[in-house]
Amino acid sequence: MTRPTLLLAAVMALAPVAAFAQVEVAAPWARATAPGAQVGAAYLTMIAPSGDRLVGAEAPVARTVELHTHLLEGGIARMRQVDAVEVPAGTPVEFAPGGLHVMLTGLARQLRQGETFPLTLVFEKAGRVTVQVRVAGAGARGPSGHHGH
């Protein structure tokens, strides 16, 4: 075989693997922020049929975008940055208030209810996946904007 033919054969052999390296992102949302607020958060649910790792995120509405979790330390809930979030094969991973979330720091503008903004998630296998985040009410508990009690 010639070198280009070998290269093509290698690419074709890898094609089925690449097809499984996809991640589905459902219901991306954020809470509205007060005027002048510097911090916000985005939430979503993701599933990767063959497993993946979320290693970063970017959003034009914030100077810094980090992956965070909540930990209970000595009876006090604290947010902590994490380097990556495992997405086990076929298992939904939920980012929700009080748990995993995408921290938006240094907001360029107020997040207003009803608006959307792009959020790019960076995965080890799937690469960059951009979704539109819908802004729900300030006290929302989920993407539909329902308030908790």
Q: Which range is least confidently modeled, 65-69, 129-133, 145-149?
A: 145-149
Establish if 13 belongs to a structural domain: no
Beta strands in the chain (DSSP E): 24-31, 39-47, 52-58, 62-73, 76-81, 85-87, 93-95, 101-107, 116-123, 127-136
Establish if 33 belongs to a structural domain: yes
CATH assignment at residue 28: 2.60.40.1890
Using DSSP, state whether 83 is helix, strand or coil.
Answer: coil
Establish if 4 belongs to a structural domain: no
| Tokens read off for 52 | 């993946």
pLDDT computed for residue 47 by the predictor? 95
Establish if 99 belongs to a structural domain: yes
Establish if 86 belongs to a structural domain: yes
Establish if 122 belongs to a structural domain: yes
Alpha-carbon dihedral 40, 96, 112, 106, rounded to 10 degrees? 10
Q: What are the tens digits of pLDDT across the range 30-83?
A: 999 999 999 999 999 999 999 999 999 999 999 999 999 987 778 887 889 999
Bigger pLDDT: 36 vs 7: 36
Q: Is the pLDDT of residue 108 over 60?
A: yes
Distance CA 133, CA 24 (A): 14
Are 79 and 103 contacting, i.e. CB atoms less than 8 angstroms apart?
Answer: yes
| Domain count along the chain | 1
Q: Is the pLDDT of residue 143 over 90?
A: no
Closest CA to 142 of 105, 109, 77, 94: 94
Q: Is the pLDDT of residue 89 over 90?
A: yes
Distance CA 77, CA 65 (A): 21
Establish if 8 belongs to a structural domain: no
Establish if 66 belongs to a structural domain: yes
Work out the percent of the chain whose per-residue pLDDT is above 70.
Answer: 83
Bigger pLDDT: 20 vs 87: 87
| Domain of residue 122, residue span | 21-136
Q: What are the tens digits of pLDDT across the range 90-107?
A: 999 999 998 999 999 999
Average pLDDT, the chain: 85
Q: Is the pLDDT of residue 18 over 90?
A: no
Q: Is the pLDDT of residue 10 over 90?
A: no
Q: Is the pLDDT of residue 114 over 90?
A: yes
pLDDT computed for residue 75 by the predictor? 82
